[in-house]
Structure 1
Amino acid sequence: MTFSASLDNALYLTLEDGCKSLRFDGHSIQSAMNLDDPYSLALGYSQTMMGFLLFVPDPKRVLIVGLGGGSLPKYCYRYLPESKVTTLEINEEVIALRHEFFIPDDNERFRIIQTDAVDYITHGHAEADVIMLDAYDHEGLPASLATESYYDHCRMALTDKGVLVINLWGTDPQLNIYIERLKRVFNERVWFCRAFNSYNVIVFASKDENFKINWIKLLFSASRMEALHDLDLQGIVRRLRAGLQYSLG
């Protein structure tokens, strides 16, 4: 069965083959949920973003920019029970769909804040062990969420060993520019790879000045964590180690 409903000029809710999706212009999938397992991560890019566990396996505070269908907030809430999960979303119509995607009500560990993420983070309201940037609209990545200044404010909002995770479109002509900005802000402590089953590029930037990757230890850690998470963390390690096999930007 296929069902599609227009929510505003750019937002569509689609139900097809047991999967509910939030789409832009009826085409580009912004978020997807498997109705049989609503807390799982249905899309390869969101699975790859959870690779932050390789850097920060036990975050106390996770800040997510961009709600969409809530896949990442829901996953972190359920499978990281010691974490407080805060999501920033500017669009009230997206927040209004939270129950369509089985997103939990706000509580002591979980909350959604309607706000401009640039204002929120640059004015010092944020502090987190992990910040995930996954905010797109029907026109793509808002320019204000990809400036060097904004990345620097994200770095300042991170705890000393924190990590910034960013979902970027692999076909974005500015892709290489964004990564170079991140390298300057994080003093080259930046790793990236193509996401599973997509052209998205997932970038990880560590604030920890003493952090150095030991690939063998990282594979071992990934193997241990896979007992707790239905994620191919070892595959993410291999992708990060191999680097991108295509030209950026």
Structure 2
Amino acid sequence: MDLEGKEERIVAEVQDPFGLIRVLEIGDYRFLEFGEAIEQSCTFIADPSWLEYDYTRAMFLGALCHPAPETALFLGLGAGTLTQACLKFLVLEDVEVIELRPDVPRLAMEHMGLVDDPRLTIRIGDALELLHSAETADLIFLDLYTDQGPAAGHLAWAFLEQCQQRLNPGGWLVINQWASNDGKPLGAALLRGLYHRHYWECPVKEGNVILFIPADLEQQFEPQAVRQRAEALAPHLGYSLLPLLDSVRGAT
């Protein structure tokens, strides 16, 4: 993505009780921002299911831990690019999104290419309060960020425990976690204790660490099976997930 010298255009701007939401267009891309220039999501206008950043590609890689997911739950929508990719490239039957700010899905649909798919249900509210009423799922994606950084849920023991408990047997929880200065995920000590060190990490160049957490201790990360799924999807995605797969490590 080369945006040097490209003109910046404000497409939409909304003030809600949580602050400012802005959609910017630069060249072939649109960006969803919270607050003062805090980028949340990036959409390639020509293909809203294209995952531009490594952290979203790594989260999609986490979805490939499951051999045949039918249901997915997204905690936090952003521009919806990861949701779009999962709807397009996975054989999902039902997808639920919980998003705090009502203007986010509206802006995503009006300006970021999010499609109103019949398999997609969006609920507005706080994921920490609504998670208990969500359907269980094969895949759960946790990506709750504000203009100040990760929301409280990323370090809330009871909530993170509940996320794992909402997984169907064989399911996977995928968390977009900030990285600390030592390269470990934010809250590493809490995560190790909560999940019994039984999870895998995928560090990405944006400075985040994506976590792959199975539903139970019997499940293992199977790199060869994930590799085969990634290789099969590469011609459709237009990029390879294998460099990210090669960086996956055990819990630190």
Partner of 1:138: 147
Instruction: Compute the displacement of 1:40 (Å).
Output: 1.0
Which segment is superposed worse, 226-235 or 60-69? 226-235
Partner of 2:116: 105
Partner of 1:14: 24
Residues 48-59 of structure 1: pairs in structure 2 closer than 5 A: 48-59=58-69
Q: Secondary structure at the match of 2:231?
A: helix
* Inter-CA distance 86–217: structure 2 relative to 1 (3 Å threshold): closer
User: Any unmatched runs of 5+ in structure 1?
Assistant: none
Query: In structure 2, how many angstroms separate the alpha carbons of the residues matched to 1:99 and 1:36?
Result: 14
Query: In structure 1, how many angstroms separate the alpha carbons of the residues matched to 2:52 and 2:150?
Result: 21
- Kindly indicate whether the alpha-carbon contact (under 8 Å) linking 1:182 and 1:205 is maintained by their aligned counterparts in 2: no
- Kindly indicate whether the alpha-carbon contact (under 8 Å) linking 1:189 and 1:207 is maintained by their aligned counterparts in 2: no
In the alignment of these two chains, the number of paired residues is 241
Partner of 2:3: none
Query: In structure 2, how many angstroms separate the alpha carbons of the residues matched to 1:217 and 1:69?
Result: 30
1:129 and 2:135 aligned: no
* Inter-CA distance 194–173: structure 2 relative to 1 (3 Å threshold): closer
Query: In structure 2, how many angstroms separate the alpha carbons of the residues matched to 1:150 and 1:118?
Result: 6
Q: Secondary structure at the match of 2:47?
A: coil
- Kindly indicate whether the alpha-carbon contact (under 8 Å) linking 1:89 and 1:113 is maintained by their aligned counterparts in 2: yes
* Inter-CA distance 214–40: structure 2 relative to 1 (3 Å threshold): closer
- Kindly indicate whether the alpha-carbon contact (under 8 Å) linking 1:131 and 1:158 is maintained by their aligned counterparts in 2: yes
For residues 97-130 of structure 1, what are the alpha-carbon distances to aligned partners after superposition, in whole Å with 9 as ceiling and x for unaligned? 12211212252x1111112111111x34330011
- Kindly indicate whether the alpha-carbon contact (under 8 Å) linking 2:142 and 2:175 is maintained by their aligned counterparts in 1: yes
Equivalent of residue 33 in structure 1, options 25, 36, 43: 43
1:62 and 2:69 aligned: no
Q: TM-score, normalised by structure 2?
A: 0.85
Task: Name the % identity.
Answer: 25
For residues 31-73 of structure 1, what are the alpha-carbon distances to aligned partners after superposition, in whole Å with 9 as ceiling and x for unaligned? 1111122221122211111112331132111100111111111
Query: In structure 1, how many angstroms separate the alpha carbons of the residues matched to 2:22 and 2:175?
Result: 24
Partner of 1:187: 196
Q: TM-score, normalised by structure 1?
A: 0.86
Query: In structure 1, how many angstroms separate the alpha carbons of the residues matched to 2:222 and 2:157?
Result: 28
